[in-house]
């Protein structure tokens, strides 16, 4: 009879072994999960989002490091804490780089990341637009309110193809065959047809979804037949708007409060001792605030034209502040990243749940706004 020897492992050690065995994700799988959390398709067209620096594959991620800005000091912290992926809200690479040398600080960040096998990912305006993103977090500091995007995003995926729809009725079978044969030969055109009745006459309704380039060819063909062309309708196709996704937020408070009260709420939410205030013409600190238009970061272009009692953002140009104030709209400026950074604590919790705690997620302790009140 063979005897077996059993070695007992303390509970705490066992838990560490188990957690370390499951505390990682493949980079590509993690990127896919991050996109499921907030699609990069929501980002502005001018933005530089997504994976910016990638170590040679395969690359596994045990520790995800969150920061608002990836500075030299923050990169040193990320390396000390053994980060495998840095999620930097602002993209550290924005303008094209012609070379990677030790000359500039941003080039050095890339070199350090690659030498230490650290990937860099930036979501930026995708997180601004997301329903659970930065602007939504900023709105939480206002009090109980309903909000909607100032500039709603359009659905990134929608079954309808093409940019335009061409519709016309065809009476005779011979004409129908000729039209269908011609348009099916044009790349970028999809054809559907259905029966229709016009003036008690049986007809076939043709609906052609066309790309911008295909539209010109379809129109050129139809214009050869005056009867077809006079019956043609051309519709411009737009993707549906997403009601809770988009840039900025227009927030309507359940109950009006004084501007002074709103200032204190904002300072408390952002953990700031001071903010900058421009009073709207005819307004005082006791003026009521019912509607707030806000945009994290730099809000001039997003807030312009929004009808509100108060604009809340990180920074605006001098002349945009003057324009708003002249319309009786007060403006609160908190410095750019002060309106964004606090979101990272919420993001840490949300990503932990979304990723099922498969990896370690830590917040930078050295990341801060570069401007201070002295």
Binding residues for a divalent metal cation, as ranges, are 90, 128, 336, 340
Q: Which long-range contacts (CB under 8 A, 24 or more apart) does 33-37 make?
A: 33/354, 33/355, 34/87, 34/121, 34/123, 34/351, 36/354, 37/350, 37/351, 37/354
What is the number of other CB atoms lying within 10 angstroms of the CB of residue 140?
16
- Among residues 312, 374, 364, the alpha carbon closest in space to that of 70 is found at 364
Position of tokens 């043609």? 232
Q: Is the peptide bond before 58 cis (omega within 30 degrees of 0)?
A: yes
Q: Cα–Cα distance between 367 and 76 in angstroms, integer?
A: 11
Q: What is the dihedral of CA 252, 255, 260, 264, to 10 degrees?
A: -80
What is the number of other CB atoms lying within 10 angstroms of the CB of residue 14?
11
Q: Which sign, positive or negative, has the C-alpha torsion 99, 104, 105, 108?
A: positive
End-to-end CA distance of the chain: 81
Binding positions are 90, 128, 336, 340
Q: Cα–Cα distance between 274 and 269 in angstroms, integer?
A: 12
Q: Is 7 exposed, middle or buried (0-12, 13-18, 19+ CB in 10 A)?
A: exposed
Q: Cα–Cα distance between 62 and 360 in angstroms, integer?
A: 6
- DSSP assignment letter at 141: G
β-strand partners of 356? none
């Amino acid at each position: 009879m063979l005897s077996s020897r059993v070695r007992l492992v303390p509970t705490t050690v066992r838990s560490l072994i188990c957690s370390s065995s499951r505390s990682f994700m493949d980079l590509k799988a993690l990127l896919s999960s991050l996109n499921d959390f907030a699609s990069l398709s929501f980002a502005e067209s001018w933005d530089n989002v997504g994976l910016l620096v990638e170590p040679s594959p395969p690359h596994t991620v045990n520790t995800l490091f969150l920061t608002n800005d990836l500075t030299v000091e923050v990169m040193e912290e990320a390396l000390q804490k053994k980060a495998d992926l840095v999620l930097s809200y602002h993209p550290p690479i924005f303008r094209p780089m012609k070379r990677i040398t030790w000359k500039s600080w941003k080039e050095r960040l890339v070199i350090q990341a690659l030498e230490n096998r650290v990937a860099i990912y930036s979501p930026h305006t995708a997180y601004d637009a997301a329903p659970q993103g930065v602007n939504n977090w900023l709105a939480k500091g206002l009090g109980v309110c309903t909000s909607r995007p100032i500039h709603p995003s359009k659905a990134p995926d929608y079954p309808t193809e093409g940019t335009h729809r061409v519709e016309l009725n065809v009476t005779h079978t011979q004409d129908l065959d000729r039209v269908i044969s011609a348009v099916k030969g044009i790349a970028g055109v999809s054809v559907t047809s259905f029966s229709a009745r016009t003036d008690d006459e049986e007809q076939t309704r043709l609906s052609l979804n066309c790309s911008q380039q295909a539209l010109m060819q379809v129109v050129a063909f139809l214009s050869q037949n005056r009867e077809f062309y006079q019956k043609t309708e051309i519709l411009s196709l737009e993707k549906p708007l997403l009601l809770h996704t988009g840039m900025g937020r227009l927030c309507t408070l359940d109950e009006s409060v004084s501007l002074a009260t709103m200032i204190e709420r904002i300072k408390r939410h952002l953990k700031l001792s001071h903010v900058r205030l421009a009073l709207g013409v005819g307004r005082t600190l006791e003026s009521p605030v019912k509607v707030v238009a806000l945009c994290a970061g730099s809000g001039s272009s997003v807030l312009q034209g929004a009808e509100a009692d108060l604009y809340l953002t990180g920074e605006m140009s001098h002349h945009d502040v003057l324009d708003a104030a002249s319309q009786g709209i007060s403006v609160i400026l908190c410095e750019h990243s002060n309106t964004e950074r606090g979101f990272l604590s919420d993001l840490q919790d949300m990503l932990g749940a979304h990723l099922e705690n498969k990896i370690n997620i830590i917040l930078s302790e050295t990341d801060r706004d570069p401007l201070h009140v002295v």
